[in-house]
Amino acid sequence: MMHNERLNTVKRMRWIMRQKSRISKLLGLSTAASMHCPYCKSRVRVGDFFCCPELEQAWQMTERPSAAPVLAENLS
């Protein structure tokens, strides 16, 4: 059960990071969206490397089928 909750958390945080990136692009801000890892509690910014293997695995599980699994800014 705990794994599923964290996976949902990662999915929600991914969505929030995408929205923050879109807003900062729209407003012309140079700030990067970030989140706190639900596994190791590190702060991770858009474009950073994964802080732990658990986050990387969860991130890959929440990928859209055609996208590559990276913690990077959404270009759309």
Domains of the chain by residue range: 2-61
Cα 17 to Cα 24: distance, rounded to the nearest angstrom: 11
Summarize pLDDT for 11-53 with one digit per residue, the tens: 888 888 888 888 888 888 777 778 888 888 888 887 788 888 8
- Residue 65, Ramachandran bin (φ over 0: left; ψ between -120 and 50: alpha; else beta): alpha
Q: pLDDT at position 65, please?
A: 64
